[in-house]
Amino acid sequence: MVNPQMSFLNNQNSMKFKFRKLLIDSNRIIIYRNLLDDKIIGYLINIIRELSEDKPDESIVEKNYYGLTHDLIIKAENENLSGNILKSYIMNAILKDENIFAISCEKHYGNLESLYELAFKDIGVLKRIMDIDTKHLRSIMDSEDETIENYTPTLYKDEKTVFSDYREELLNIDSVPELLDSIIEYYYKIGSGELVDHVAFRWNNKTGFSGIKYCDLVDMENIVGYNYQKEILLKNTSAFIEGNPANNILLVGSRGTGKSSLVKSLVKEYCLDGLRIIELKKSQLKDFGEMVDHLRNRNKKFIVFLDDLSFEDNETEYKELKSVLEGTLEKKPENVIIYATSNRRNLIKESWSERDSDIHSNDSINEKMSLSDRFGITLSFYSPTQEEYLNMVKKLAIENGINPCKADDVKFYSMNIGKLSDQTGMIMAWETLREDAVKWGMSQNGFSGRTAKQFIDYIIGTYKN
């Protein structure tokens, strides 16, 4: 007959030696050593350390467990983690750790030599930490709190990043070799560090890249007109992604014509092919070389996006841009391309003195004109005609649940149904919508895609039930 007390003691000793071995192995982590400085993982290490003692202090275990729970909830809400949020958090930490192994995976994929063996050992230890039985920890503290094992976030519960589903697949892998191979594939296809969660970034010369969480990605098909410009952008960007020669592009023309939206739409079109976008202000052009050093060894393609670019006569940042485009000894990496938008073709404003003076005037003007010339392709965007503008209005109306139809149909719905709506959305007479759209354009910012969107937003906000 089995002695219950002896069985309990044997189980306790087994857990103690298990935690003691895990503590020793965690101290031997090499590639992912940065994770040992993570606050949440630190709480877990403190718990492991205490439970490896002959006489663990229950109060220390409890203090660290609830500190761990508190911080995990904040992370779960901010990063939209659900289910077992401890496992999800540690998996995210592995993917976001921008170490030499992760960077090498991005560039070399399967040919990792010694780094593979080191990473295999580390992932094995981190998998054991990730799989710690939190129910066992709760039993030690006599707690019924299941927050860590089964959490549902509230703050951003309906939002997912582009790559959320890929990360969730990793949580269901039990085999360490299979998990490591999947992590390597993730690094190669999607990236590590900030690249894990985002496709669009800002640059800061002190902190480096920061992902733009709420990126305004646009579907190209929703941008009406400019078919030639779209075709050139798509062909050039496709060549860039495939590693073929491609040009820097300047998109120039009237405001509100969709230049910026077209550039952003390229990321949505090609993000799964490795395209990313970095927003750079003209005041940051002096940091271009430093920024490029961060990109050179990444196995992703980056559009450096300079939006609404122009320079006053007294601004000198344009010289930095000229050097970047062409003229420095250092070669621009093949995974970086520059797309800029501007409302004027001559990016640098001329002064009256240059126009009036004959002395060196040609030299000065040529100096400034040469900036635009250094973009390999210049795409011009004209203001749409009234009919083109109205086509944009109609397309946007339909996309936003407004059914533009004949006046007789509106009258029928009003008399027989009593409300101007159907299963597809709000019903409006196209004649009325058209007339209002023209008045709106003439009284606001002229005919453009931006004006069309602002008009439809006004209609929805004012009339839609």
pLDDT tens column, 123-137? 999 999 999 888 888
Residue 193 has what pLDDT? 84
- Average pLDDT over the chain reads 81
pLDDT tens column, 413-422? 444 444 445 5
Q: Kind of pairing, strands 336-342 and 377-381?
A: unpaired
Is the model's pLDDT at 432 over the cut of 70? yes
Residue 197 has what pLDDT? 81
pLDDT tens column, 192-227? 888 888 889 998 878 788 888 777 778 888 777 788
Helix axes 85-96, 114-130, angle to 10 degrees: 160
Is the model's pLDDT at 368 over the cut of 70? no
pLDDT tens column, 259-279? 888 999 999 889 889 899 999
> Is the CA virtual torsion 76, 77, 82, 83 positive or negative?
positive
Which is nearest to 32 in space by CA: 113, 130, 111? 130
Sequence-distant (≥ 6) Cβ neighbours of residue 388 within 8 angstroms: 224, 225, 447
Mean pLDDT (whole number) for 28-38: 95
Q: How sure is the predictor about 410, in pLDDT bands with cuts at 50, 70 and 90?
A: low
Domains of the chain from N-terminus onward: 4-193 (no CATH), 220-350+359-381 (3.40.50.300), 386-463 (no CATH)
Residue 331 has what pLDDT? 65
Q: How sure is the predictor about 2, in pLDDT bands with cuts at 50, 70 and 90?
A: very low
Q: Report if pTM > 0.85.
A: no
Q: How far apart (Å, rounded) are the C-alpha atoms in residues 233 and 414? A: 46
Is the model's pLDDT at 145 over the cut of 50? yes
Sequence-distant (≥ 6) Cβ neighbours of residue 190 within 8 angstroms: 163, 166, 196
Is the model's pLDDT at 376 over the cut of 60? yes
Let me know the angle formed at the C-alpha of 271 by 274 and 79, rounded to the nearest 5 degrees.
105
Q: How sure is the predictor about 1, in pLDDT bands with cuts at 50, 70 and 90?
A: very low
Mean pLDDT (whole number) for 168-187: 92
- Of residues 128 and 367, more confidently modeled: 128
Q: How far apart (Å, rounded) are the C-alpha atoms in residues 80 and 92? A: 11
pLDDT tens column, 227-238? 899 999 999 999
pLDDT tens column, 152-175? 888 876 666 667 778 888 988 999
For residue 419, what is the DSSP state? S
Which is nearest to 66 in space by CA: 18, 152, 134? 134
* Per-residue tokens: 161: 């990043």
Amino acid residing at 314: N
435 Ramachandran zone, left/alpha/beta (phi>0; psi -120 to 50)? alpha
